[in-house]
């Protein structure tokens, strides 16, 4: 039993942080940020209230880190080389990946929309990668449409993103009236892809 090295400590610490963030995201998404007390979060993570503050300085910091981490993952997936540029050959994959993330990270989206829709709260996120990440995403699309000769790039970005975000919102409150079958989701994705390539339908 040799004593743990500093690296090992750091590793343990990091995995604890991740575990807390994961369980906290679940609670935030289902109860809402304001209704998720530190007690609840600690219990969900299986640790004590006090220890929470060993890992995060405040509830707000915890929230920010969760949002930043999620946003980073998304950008890493959609723009792996982080050059902020999409080439025509990458576009298809870009859209497909976005849809895949929408489906996989539902909890993150619920939280994201909740926070982003509260102007006063959103302000406190200024400068964090949560907002810059979103801007980056839009900006990548803008550049693509601009540099590929589309007549009205803003309209194209709006079309794409509204369909993506709209789908996100719809999936988030899956009404009994209309649960979306997987096959329809795939067709919907294709429809979006086609739209990008054939703006000449106008």
Closest to DNA by CB, 58 vs 147, is 58
Q: Of 10-18, 87-95, 159-167, 185-193, which segment contacts DNA by CB under 7 A? A: 10-18
Contacts of 94 (CB under 8 A, 6+ apart): 78, 79, 86, 140
Q: How far apart are CA 80 and CA 46, in angstroms?
A: 34
x/- string (CB under 7 A) for DNA, residues 50-69? xxxxx--xxxx---------
CB 75 within 8 A of CB 133: yes
Q: Which of its own copies, DNA, none is residue 6 near (CB under 5 to 8 Å by kind)?
A: DNA
Closest to its own copies by CB, 44 vs 116, is 116
Q: Which of DNA, its own copies, none is residue 47 near (CB under 5 to 8 Å by kind)?
A: DNA
By the rule CB under 8 A, 61 interacts with its own copies: no
Phi-psi region of 84 (alpha: psi -120 to 50; beta: other; left: phi over 0): left
Alpha-helical runs (H) found in the chain: 6-31, 38-45, 49-55, 59-78, 88-104, 106-116, 119-123, 129-147, 153-172, 182-197
Closest to its own copies by CB, 18 vs 180, is 180
Closest to DNA by CB, 59 vs 96, is 59
By the rule CB under 8 A, 33 interacts with its own copies: yes
By the rule CB under 7 A, 26 interacts with DNA: no
Closest to DNA by CB, 50 vs 149, is 50
Buried b (16+ CB within 10 A) or exposed e, 8-18: eeeeeeeeebe
Task: Return residues touching DNA (CB under 7 A).
Answer: 1-4, 6, 8-9, 12-13, 16, 35-40, 47-54, 57-60
């Amino acid at each position: 039993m040799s004593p743990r090295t500093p690296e090992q400590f750091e590793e343990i610490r990091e995995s604890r942080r991740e575990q807390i963030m994961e369980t906290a995201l679940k609670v935030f998404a289902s109860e809402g940020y304001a209704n998720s007390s530190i007690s609840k979060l600690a219990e969900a993570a299986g640790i004590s209230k006090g220890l929470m503050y060993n890992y995060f300085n405040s509830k707000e910091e915890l929230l920010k880190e969760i949002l930043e981490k999620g946003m980073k993952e998304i950008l890493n997936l959609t723009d792996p080389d982080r050059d902020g540029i999409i080439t025509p050959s990458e576009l298809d994959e870009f859209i497909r990946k976005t849809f895949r993330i929408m489906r996989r990270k539902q909890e993150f989206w619920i939280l994201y929309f909740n926070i982003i829709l509260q102007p006063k709260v959103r302000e406190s996120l200024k400068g964090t990668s949560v907002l810059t990440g979103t801007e980056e995403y839009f900006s990548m699309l803008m550049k693509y449409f601009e540099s590929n000769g589309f007549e009205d790039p803003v309209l194209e970005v709006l079309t794409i993103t509204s369909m993506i975000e709209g789908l996100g919102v719809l999936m988030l409150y899956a009404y009994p009236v209309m649960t979306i079958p997987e096959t329809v989701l795939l067709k919907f994705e294709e429809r979006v892809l086609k739209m990008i390539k054939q703006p000449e339908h106008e």
